[in-house]
Structure 1
């Protein structure tokens, strides 16, 4: 028997215990509890004393618990708290909660007693769940990563990889876990890689991908490929881990090589083009000066002959000389047009917002001024603007409006329109007339140099104008096309982007 003083001391220790303490006899009946038991389970101790301990166990587990209890009484031993069992307690209100229990047998004069220390582990279980959830999310993110992810310890041993690593390097993750990370590095540079790794461990920092270093990986079959790697140190309770994101840059390097090759080719082409342009400039200068001189001489001497010796020529002679003069003059116009076409091809572009309506209005007024007797109606839509080269677009409108003016000669009433319309790829501008028109069967010849679809005697020209217009429109990144019908007019459309 314990003395009163020893019993008082025991009960004081029992009440001061941080865990709920339940003492049962060999039959599983409760003989003593502390205040923490009352708080934890919601029972008054008088309602527990003498009751089977199963009162504190969920009903669905009663039979199992009786078996565990009898087994413990048959072979009692100290069982530490949290010894791998998932246990639950039941409060007075019927609610359940997770618990951990330590068991200790105590031999007394009345027989063997079992001392159970019970701890509510709800928070611990919740913390464990949160850890598991975080780990699950982490693994999900790891597997969803577009790059190969390799996690290693400070000794360079691989601890974790994702599916992309398996695909990229051709190893199963079982073959990689625990291996030195140099297994993924070509043998010829493994020694150097160890030095780099040790230096990084000595001063770990986030290193962005592609940080000015040529890196290579080696697949399970021994083949090498270029990679970019970003490194991030992560400090954990188990020590520092290194997270490496590995990206295959084979396609990028191939594309870079192709771009470099194209740039070199472009440089050569530009050099050749510059030489061609220089030759064209020389040719244009030669045409402009060396050919004009004899043409002016032919025209001038023919005119002088007509004026000074007209009485010595018959009608046929005078007709021949007039034909010579017209041919020389036409050749001069053709030279001017060819030089214009050449200059358009080589001209630099200066883009700005241009008022197309104002340009068209000015050209229309110039055309009227040249032939004030003609009755022509110009319908020019106001407010049409475009981002373009003002000087070049002036040439486009002069040619198109000039053609409309030329091919409506003799039409009463004459109507020429300038406007815009919507196309699949944006805005298109158009110039429409009610003149001679053309046969759509020959539309593909309209923009070829020296191609004419009409009688030169009735509609004079060199056939260079529309070719020049097409060059300018194409130079702006646009396109030009036409629609027409013989004697019912024509419409020319163009875009500038």
Structure 2
């Protein structure tokens, strides 16, 4: 534990003052750096929380577990990154830890940025400052990745003979394999990207013969990460259990914008939005579709001096038609259907990072609700991606 080590060091320093104060301070700095390095390189997701459950520190695996960088996590409650029905479990666990000042353990869930929910075993130890516990160290073990809570089930046997696996069983097994593979890929790729960034900073100004291969290595790792995120989202779409209810699209839009702030950072971006309707829909489905459309608009307008994005609303007797318009790279309308096919791309990955999965997932998801998704554009003149959502959608079909 970072702070525990530092407290012990500080106590030792007070008991045995050294004559050379500068040397003493330097030794303390070295120990602090070592403690922080041990925390950051811990082989499990680790968090430092204050008495209110807000994240004060998080290591690399903790960031990977939640699918967010530290800047998006610090000073925010850990419960914010959990399903609603799991937040109470965390509050109870923290209350017990701060009350007893003993190690507490419990089962709960966290939610990845892509929407995937993971079962986790949580260990919490609270520590005191000035006589009262006011911070704790939380370690999360991903049980979903280990297959502990939901291991794959063997095919059922009947009459003493193995029954042939059904299509549904094979489909579930495939989803389990893909999901496990994605989780296993996430951590080494994140570490590889961090290592390459550290190497770049340490090398400083480099000759072209060194800088170019390093840049290509970083781009290759980024492509793998982008592909993993896209496949993960596509699997989430396949597993989505839709629920029809009244959904205010304005609320969904604001929530999507918060998650897209990194794409607009350090850029001149203007986003305008018409007043959006209230739809009978599934909020998670609308979030996925709007997030994909807006993310694409920001990505493909990245080379404009000022990116201009507008969300348009049109209404017919039977549908609400929502369009996301940008002034980006656009595309040739002859190939518009390719945009909605798996792994099809119209722009080079060297210029625009992507996997060719997102729009395919959007169309598949829209069709489950009787909605339509399509795109219009011109090369170098921008594009508009449309969603026509029925006012009276049918009960969505299960995948």
Larger radius of gyration: 1
- Please report the TM-score for the alignment, with normalisation by the length of structure 2: 0.49
